[in-house]
C-alpha cells in the first residue's frame, strides 16, 4: 500500500540508510563496485536520478540484494508522484 500523507522512501534514502552507512561504504566505493561513474551513485542518493533496470541489477550485484528490491522502491515513488499529479 502506498503512503497517503507522505511520499514513499526513495531508493537513494534506502541506499544510504540501509546499506552505505551500516556497511561504512562510500559512494565512491559503491560506484567502483558497480563500475559506474561516481556521479551516477551521487545523483541517485540525492534524488536527481531514479533507479533504472540496469542500475537495479548493478546495485543488486554490488549489495547482494535482488534487482526487484530496487525496482519496487522506484515504482512506489513513481506511482506516488503520478497519483499526486493526477489528483489535481
pLDDT digits (tens, 9 = 90+) for 56-83: 999 999 999 999 999 999 999 999 999 9
- Fold of the CATH domain 11-87: 434 Repressor (Amino-terminal Domain) (1.10.260)
pLDDT digits (tens, 9 = 90+) for 1-49: 555 678 999 999 999 999 999 999 999 999 999 999 999 999 999 999 9
Closest by CA to 73, choosing from 88, 86, 60, is: 60
pLDDT digits (tens, 9 = 90+) for 22-35: 999 999 999 999 99
Rounded Cα distance, 82 and 73, in Å: 15
Rounded Cα distance, 60 and 69, in Å: 8
pTM score > 0.85 for this model? yes
Provide the residue ranges of all domains of the chain, joining segments of one domain with +: 11-87
The CA-atom distances, in angstroms, between 83 and each of 3, 12, 63 are: 11, 21, 31
Amino acid at each position: 500500500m502506498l503512503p497517503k500523507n507522505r511520499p514513499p522512501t526513495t531508493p537513494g534514502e534506502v541506499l544510504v540508510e540501509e546499506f552505505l552507512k551500516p556497511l561504512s561504504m562510500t559512494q565512491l566505493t559503491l560506484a567502483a563496485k558497480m563500475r559506474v561513474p561516481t556521479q551516477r551513485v551521487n545523483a541517485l542518493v540525492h534524488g536527481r536520478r531514479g533507479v533504472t533496470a540496469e542500475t537495479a541489477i548493478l546495485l543488486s550485484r554490488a549489495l547482494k540484494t535482488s534487482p526487484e528490491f530496487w525496482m519496487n522502491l522506484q515504482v512506489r515513488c513513481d506511482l506516488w508522484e503520478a497519483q499526486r499529479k493526477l489528483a489535481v
